[in-house]
């Protein structure tokens, strides 16, 4: 498994810095490019989705999710004002369950849609399962995962992954997902116990510092604990997810093909640090010209705020709007680069073993939806 990446930055960024409705067509062009530059065994992938499908999915989310959501919130306020607290509480619980159901349903439908629009050798994937039952599974498995003090979250994550992929197919062959959550539990337990150990260490350091009257030691130790809380826990969480994703993909197979994912924690860390660096570069690209130009305008007005109705106020406002638009450009450029990096990361470390007989591979007969990812695409959730 591998990718072919030629003239990527020029071609990739030239079409995808967009605002408004055109973003759905821009997303389609982006995926067409990424899929076409990705080679699987002896042929490139092909994306056949359209911008109109994504737009329809987005509109359906607005109609079927956000409109009822706002309606329920208004009804809740009305019930509270009338003193019907129990009814308002029941409505809140129903809303909470509904949000969980739609989240799971959207995850399933997004995967189903992307497989149905991905072609290889003229063959596509998909599923005949509509995902209604998966939404129910998402509710109760997520609840169980958190109910036992959060200790079963790895089980919840892995079983949902297995269920989601086991209902998918490519051509006439069904995917099989048998990832074992127990292989990830040690790393999760490390993340789970770290805050407790951190709290114990904080009390111990505080007690020792008080006993030996050493405020300097307490200050240094406190700073180290804060750094560990913000960065150490994040690194441990990344280590858990790296292990989870590796185990999940390693348990995935399609007929005689077995998949694997070789990225380790350090590879995920490099990916994350690269994303942070891109955002910082965008911020610097915005901040430096803004500081220089703001200083120039300030010097012309003796660093005083423009007076209402003055000529300088009009000049200031005419300067402010272009600066705001200019500030948006670097941040809009970051998005395409990050999506490209994530796709390349996924393709680079994805592995495939076994054999496939093209003579036996026939076109999928699964039904295809007429609209895109909806909720997930509305919030621009990536494929990984």
Average pLDDT over residues 272-291: 85
Which of the four pLDDT bands, split at 50, 70 and 90, describes residue 375? low
Average pLDDT over residues 311-333: 64
The Cα–Cα gap between 31 and 373 comes to 14
Q: Give residue 284's pLDDT.
A: 86
pTM: 0.80
Most distant CA atoms of the chain, gap in Å: 79
Q: In 10 A of CB 338, how many CB atoms?
A: 16
Average pLDDT over residues 351-365: 81
Cα 381 from chain centroid (whole Å): 4
Question: Does residue 58 have a pLDDT over 50?
Answer: yes
Contact yes or no for 107/137 (Cβ under 8 A): no
Q: Give residue 372's pLDDT.
A: 60
E strand spans, 262-312: none
Question: Does residue 349 have a pLDDT over 90?
Answer: yes
The Cα–Cα gap between 138 and 42 comes to 37
The Cα–Cα gap between 40 and 339 comes to 20
* Relative orientation angle of helices 85-116 and 132-147, to the nearest 10 degrees: 120
Q: Give residue 195's pLDDT.
A: 81
Contact yes or no for 169/112 (Cβ under 8 A): no
Q: Give residue 213's pLDDT.
A: 60
> Which has the closest alpha carbon to 65: 7, 109, 13?
109
Place of tokens 């306020």: 77
The Cα–Cα gap between 201 and 213 comes to 17
Average pLDDT over residues 217-235: 75
Average pLDDT over residues 187-192: 92
Q: What is the mean pLDDT of the chain?
A: 80
Q: Give residue 351's pLDDT.
A: 92
Least confident stretch, 29-43, 59-73, 333-347: 59-73
Q: Give residue 217's pLDDT.
A: 63
Q: Give residue 10's pLDDT.
A: 40
What pLDDT, in 10s, does the model give residues 156-182? 999 999 999 999 999 989 999 999 999
The Cα–Cα gap between 273 and 145 comes to 30
The token pair that represents 323 in the structure block: 């600066």
């Amino acid at each position: 498994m591998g990718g072919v990446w030629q003239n990527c930055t020029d071609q990739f960024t030239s079409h995808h810095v967009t605002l408004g409705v055109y973003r759905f067509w821009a997303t389609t062009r982006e995926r067409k490019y990424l899929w076409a530059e990705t080679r699987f065994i002896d042929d490139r992938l092909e994306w056949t989705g359209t911008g109109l499908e994504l737009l329809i999915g987005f509109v359906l989310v607005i109609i079927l999710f956000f409109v009822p959501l706002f309606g329920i919130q208004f009804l809740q306020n009305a019930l509270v004002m009338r003193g019907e607290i129990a009814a308002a509480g029941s409505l809140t619980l129903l809303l909470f369950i509904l949000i969980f159901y739609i989240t799971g349903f959207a995850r399933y439908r997004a995967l189903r849609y992307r497989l149905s629009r991905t072609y290889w050798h003229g063959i596509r994937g998909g599923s005949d399962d509509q995902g209604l039952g998966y939404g129910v599974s998402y509710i109760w498995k997520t609840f169980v995962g958190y109910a036992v003090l959060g200790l079963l979250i790895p089980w919840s994550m892995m079983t949902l992954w297995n269920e989601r992929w086991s209902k998918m197919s490519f051509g006439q062959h069904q995917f099989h997902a048998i990832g074992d959550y127990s292989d990830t539990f040690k790393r999760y337990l490390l993340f789970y116990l770290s805050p407790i150990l951190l709290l114990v260490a904080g009390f111990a350091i505080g007690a020792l510092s008080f006993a030996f009257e050493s405020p300097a030691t307490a200050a240094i130790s406190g700073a180290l604990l804060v750094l560990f809380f913000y960065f150490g826990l994040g690194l441990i969480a990344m280590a858990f997810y790296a292990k989870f994703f590796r185990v999940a993909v390693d348990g995935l197979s399609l007929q005689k093909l077995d998949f694997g994912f070789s990225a380790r924690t350090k590879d995920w860390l490099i990916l994350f640090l690269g994303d942070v660096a891109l955002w910082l570069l965008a911020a610097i690209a915005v901040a430096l010209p803004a500081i220089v130009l703001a200083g120039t305008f300030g010097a012309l007005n003796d660093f005083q705020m423009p007076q209402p109705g003055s000529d300088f106020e009009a000049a200031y406002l005419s300067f402010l709007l272009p600066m705001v638009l200019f500030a948006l450009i670097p941040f809009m450029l970051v998005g395409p680069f990050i999506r490209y990096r994530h796709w390349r990361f996924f393709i680079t470390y994805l592995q495939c073993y076994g054999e496939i007989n093209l003579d036996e591979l026939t076109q999928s007969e699964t039904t295809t939806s007429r609209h895109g990812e909806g909720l997930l695409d509305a919030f621009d959730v990536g494929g990984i």
